[in-house]
Amino acid sequence: MIFQNEKQLLQIIKYTPSIFVLTISIIILTIQFVENNRTFEIEKEKIRTEFNIRNKNRIKQETNEIYNFIKKEQQSTKKELKESLTSAVDNAYAIANTIYQNNLDKDPVFIKKLIVDALRNIRFNKNRGYFFIYENTGENILLPHNPEREGENFWNHQDSKGAYVIQDMVNLLKNTEESFYQWHWFNPTKPDKQKTKIGLVRNFKPFNWFIGTGEYIEEYEVETKEKILDYIDNINSNRNDYIFIIDFDLTYISHIRKDYIGKNAIKINDTVETKKVINNLLKIAKKGEGYYTYIQNKKPGNDLPTKKVSYIKGLDSWSWMIGTGFYEDDMNTAIIQKRKELDKKFELYVYKSLEVTGLITIVLLILSIYFSRILQKKFIRYKSEIKAHIDKNTKQQNIMAQKTKMAAMGEMIGNIAHQWRQPLSTITATATGLKIQKEMNVLNDDFLIEGLSGINNTAQYLSKTIDDFRNFFKTNKKETDFTIEDVINKSLSLCRSELYNLDIKIIKNIGDITITNYENEFIQVLINIIRNAKDELTKKDQNSKKLIFIEVKEDNKYVKIMIKDNAGGIPKSLKNRIFEPYFTTKHQSQGTGVGLYMCKEIIEKNMGGFLEVENCEYKYIYESYVGACFEIRLPID
């Protein structure tokens, strides 16, 4: 068996380093793999975050650029419109003034008619523009698109916003010769609703008139809108994402899909989700601007539902919502690329790790085989040394056990001699008495029978004593069933005379507990502990009480035997050494010092129990005592 264990140990020494390196490498590679995935997840989240931030900034910038472009075009349109109106009014004033100057000798009514007739049919701005003339009192002189109302007084006329248009014009011209003015008026082409109109009016003092013209901003801006939409269409044609424009009536104005333009954004895909998205976009546009994330039902190019982030900005002057966005699945390309980069890096790391691991494993395997052979030789030498040492120790243990046995035998022989002395004296005295009476011829039958009975009883007592000591010295190594009470009584009977002569009192509290173990060895332990207590009690004052307490009780799966005395306890300096071999506090002539050591060996190694000692303080019949307390625990089962 030793050879087999030795072989296994050498195998462990030979292969363990290589296995250890391989295991560590696998663990490192596993950790690296997990770390690689974790890094990828972090990078993926970083890409997603950076992608969203970058694209959010981009779509906001692009939307603002379109918005600013439109605002700039609006301002340019107003400027051009004002320049156009100024040119037209200057032309009308020049015609009226020329007619007036050329006809100063004519009737004023005739001159007025000439002027009105001259201006009535003049049109400009793609036939949308015309001239009107009012007196400063509010009476209309010229209204080409509605001549039946000429001569009607418009002084108290209000537009849809409640402004007194003619009054405002007259008031403006009191402080200046001409002025621009904005109001709302019925468009001749769409008479059902008043539209915003901007005009220019100029005093014509000869008749207390003011001549003016105007243009509906909406109509004038049509060209501007077309120009802007063409510009946006051109932008959309050169990019994956696109700019879209929806008016506040939810009609598409601009979109990358031409079939959407002019259609209601909700009706194109009439679902609850679409209504929710379009209405939320409208709310953002009316409030000003903002981001909105939603699922677009059809992404241009693949017609699949895709998550989209849009930036919306409202253009109140035209009731437009301008927006653009980006699709989150566009970031997948960057994520896939990052995955490839990390996988390639990890792959290179694995190759290098395997190369290094393989090299180290081969080197360690060679070294392990080399050292295992060296160790094998050392093991053989060491095993020989160990065997020699064990043989030596075994011999010493045998000597020690023999000394203990001889010491015990010597003490037992002394006890036998002591216990036999009185009975032998009794036998001798009885025999001598019988002999004397016989010689004196006074021996009667009753005395003879009584004497012989006494001799027989005494001889029986001596025989029982011999049996008790003979049983103690039996080398019986078989476990037997015995009660703790019987064993304690046997132990006490073997040293009764010693205890009696020293006036040592035994106080027992023993339960009826049966165990299976080595009876004779247990008796030897009990006798050793009792004699140690006896030796310590002999050091006390002869007149003081000498007590030994023996208590037995069950403790879980153990029986606990406590033996304590009132000898004052073990000195602290000696307490940790009393179970050492050859340690004794007695004179060399009184002991070898192996008693308590052998007790501990018997209880713990042979009987599977525990032996411990402590100093304890206790009370007995209202008196306090201090002494050593030996505790033995033996398994019940």
DSSP collapsed to 3 states, 189-248: CEEEEEEEEEEEEEEEHHHCEEEEEEEEHHHHHHHHHHHHHHHHHHHHCCCCCCEEEEEC
Last residue of a domain, one of 217, 237, 253: 217
45-49, 81-85, 136-140, 460-464: range with lowest mean pLDDT: 460-464
pLDDT tens per residue, range 292-304:
888 877 676 666 7
Inform me whether the pLDDT recorded for 1 exceeds 50: no
* Distance separating alpha carbons of residues 135 and 150, to the nearest angstrom: 11
Q: Treating both helix axes as pointing N-terminal to C-terminal, what angle do 445-472 and 484-494 enclose, rounded to 10 degrees?
A: 110
pLDDT tens per residue, range 316-342:
888 899 988 887 776 677 677 777 777
Find, among 629, 575, 632, the residue nearest to 600 by Cα.
632
Q: What angle do CA 338, 342, 347 make, to 5 degrees?
A: 145
Residue 452 lies in a domain: no
| Residues 6 or more apart whose Cβ sits within 8 Å of residue 174 | none
Count up the domains in the chain and report the number: 3
Taking the model in full, what pTM does it have? 0.46
Q: Tell me the mean pLDDT in the region 249-270.
A: 84
Question: Tell me, what CATH number does 495's domain have?
Answer: 3.30.565.10
- Considering the domain architecture, whether residues 235 and 292 belong to the same structural domain is answered as yes
Report pLDDT for 13. 65
- Considering the domain architecture, whether residues 518 and 592 belong to the same structural domain is answered as yes
Q: Tell me the mean pLDDT in the region 238-257.
A: 83
Residue 18 lies in a domain: no
Residue 296 lies in a domain: yes
Residue 7 lies in a domain: no
Give Dmax over CA atoms of the chain in angstroms: 215
* Distance separating alpha carbons of residues 449 and 164, to the nearest angstrom: 167
Inform me whether the pLDDT recorded for 414 exceeds 70: no
Report pLDDT for 2. 47
Greatest mean pLDDT among 15-19, 443-447, 523-527 lies in 523-527
- Considering the domain architecture, whether residues 141 and 282 belong to the same structural domain is answered as no
Strand order in the sheet with 252-254: 252-254, 243-247, 320-327, 306-315, 289-296
Last residue of a domain, one of 301, 332, 363: 332
- Considering the domain architecture, whether residues 192 and 287 belong to the same structural domain is answered as no
Report pLDDT for 109. 92
Q: Tell me the mean pLDDT in the region 265-292.
A: 86
Inform me whether the pLDDT recorded for 198 exceeds 80: yes
- Considering the domain architecture, whether residues 213 and 239 belong to the same structural domain is answered as no
Residue 50 lies in a domain: no
| Residues 6 or more apart whose Cβ sits within 8 Å of residue 100 | 111, 115, 206
Residue 338 lies in a domain: no
- Considering the domain architecture, whether residues 558 and 605 belong to the same structural domain is answered as yes
- DSSP assigned state of 139: B
Are the CB atoms for 142 and 131 separated by under 8 Å? yes
- Considering the domain architecture, whether residues 483 and 631 belong to the same structural domain is answered as yes
Report pLDDT for 591. 43
Inform me whether the pLDDT recorded for 463 exceeds 70: no
b/e 418-431 (16+ beta carbons within 10 angstroms → b): ebbeebeeebeebe
Provide the residue type at 34 as one letter: V
pLDDT tens per residue, range 499-544:
877 888 999 998 888 898 888 888 888 888 988 888 888 887 777 8
Q: Tell me the mean pLDDT in the region 139-144.
A: 94
- Considering the domain architecture, whether residues 528 and 586 belong to the same structural domain is answered as yes
Residue 84 lies in a domain: no
* Distance separating alpha carbons of residues 130 and 124, to the nearest angstrom: 7
pLDDT tens per residue, range 337-390:
777 777 777 677 667 767 777 777 787 668 767 766 776 677 677 777 777 777
pLDDT tens per residue, range 79-101:
888 888 999 999 999 999 999 99
CA dihedral 364, 369, 371, 373 (to 10 degrees): 180
User: Sorting pLDDT into bands at 50, 70 and 90, what band is 125?
Assistant: confident
236 half-sphere exposure, CB direction, 13 A CA radius: 21
| Residue 299, token pair as written in the block | 């992404």
Inform me whether the pLDDT recorded for 75 exceeds 90: no
Last residue of a domain, one of 157, 185, 217: 217
Backbone torsions φ then ψ of 28, nearest 5 degrees: -65, -45
DSSP 102-129: HTTTS-HHHHHHHHHHHHHT--BTTTTB
- Considering the domain architecture, whether residues 251 and 323 belong to the same structural domain is answered as yes
* Distance separating alpha carbons of residues 161 and 166, to the nearest angstrom: 14
User: In the chain, what are the helix, strand and coil shares in percent, each to the nearest 5?
Assistant: 55, 20, 20
Going from the C-alpha of 498 to that of each of 54, 162, 227, 538, the distances in angstroms are: 104, 137, 132, 11
39-53, 103-117, 148-162: range with lowest mean pLDDT: 39-53
Question: Tell me, what CATH number does 328's domain have?
Answer: 3.30.450.20
User: Sorting pLDDT into bands at 50, 70 and 90, what band is 470?
Assistant: low
Inform me whether the pLDDT recorded for 469 exceeds 70: no
| Residue 534, token pair as written in the block | 């006896």
Are the CB atoms for 600 and 609 separated by under 8 Å? no
- Considering the domain architecture, whether residues 95 and 209 belong to the same structural domain is answered as yes
Residue 16 lies in a domain: no
- Considering the domain architecture, whether residues 93 and 239 belong to the same structural domain is answered as no
* Distance separating alpha carbons of residues 310 and 508, to the nearest angstrom: 97
Report pLDDT for 166. 93
- Considering the domain architecture, whether residues 194 and 258 belong to the same structural domain is answered as no
User: Sorting pLDDT into bands at 50, 70 and 90, what band is 400?
Assistant: low
Length of the chain: 637
User: Sorting pLDDT into bands at 50, 70 and 90, what band is 588?
Assistant: very low
| Residue 280, token pair as written in the block | 């939320």
Range of the domain at 122: 89-217
